[in-house]
């Protein structure tokens, strides 16, 4: 039985090591894609001139603003993911405790309440991460990189 745990730890270490080694390559690709989207969005802003505040900025200012906004958006998405993962883990633990005391009905009720709370937290964090960019009139979908 102990050898299964050792095997799982070795596989976990190998997977983590591989992820750490290849992280730079993925980051470089993502940054290049972000910069292409920023440049395309700058051209759109110059062409359409919908937002006078953005149209009045120089290309350097606009590039810095959009690039930092895209980076902040990505960091906020990562924080949101970790927060929702923590909420999911807490809901699972709470539902398991309720299942041991009240059975399947307790588990279901606790899981449903936790799901509603996680949905609310997701919506709140989505609005909070988009608000600074939307306040300046920036279309967030143009900067989002999957």
pLDDT tens profile 21-56 = 776 677 778 888 888 988 888 888 888 888 888 888
Residue 144 — φ and ψ, nearest 5°? -70, 130
**Selection from 133, 119, 21 nearest residue 75 by Cα:** 133
pLDDT tens profile 88-140 = 999 989 998 898 898 889 999 999 999 999 999 999 999 999 998 888 888 88
Cα 140 to Cα 142: distance, rounded to the nearest angstrom: 5
Q: Which residues of 5-43 are buried (b: 16+ CB within 10 A; e: fewer)?
A: eeeeeeeeeeeeeeeeeeeeeeeeeeeeebeebbeebbe
pLDDT at 8 over 90: no
Half-sphere exposure of residue 40, counting CA atoms within 13 Å on the CB side? 11
């Amino acid at each position: 039985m102990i050898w299964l745990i050792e095997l799982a730890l070795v596989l976990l270490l190998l997977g983590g090591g591989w992820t750490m080694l290849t992280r730079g390559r993925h980051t470089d690709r993502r940054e290049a894609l972000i910069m292409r989207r920023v440049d395309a969005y700058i051209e759109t802003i110059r062409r359409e001139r919908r937002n006078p505040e953005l149209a009045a900025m120089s290309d350097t200012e606009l590039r810095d603003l959009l690039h930092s906004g895209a980076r902040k958006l990505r960091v906020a998405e990562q924080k949101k993911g970790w927060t929702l993962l923590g909420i999911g883990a807490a809901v699972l633990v709470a539902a398991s405790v309720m299942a041991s005391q009240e059975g399947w009905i307790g588990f279901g009720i606790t899981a449903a309440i936790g799901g509603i709370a996680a949905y609310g937290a997701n919506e709140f964090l989505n609005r909070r991460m988009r608000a600074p960019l939307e306040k300046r009139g920036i279309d967030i979908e143009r900067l989002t990189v999957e």
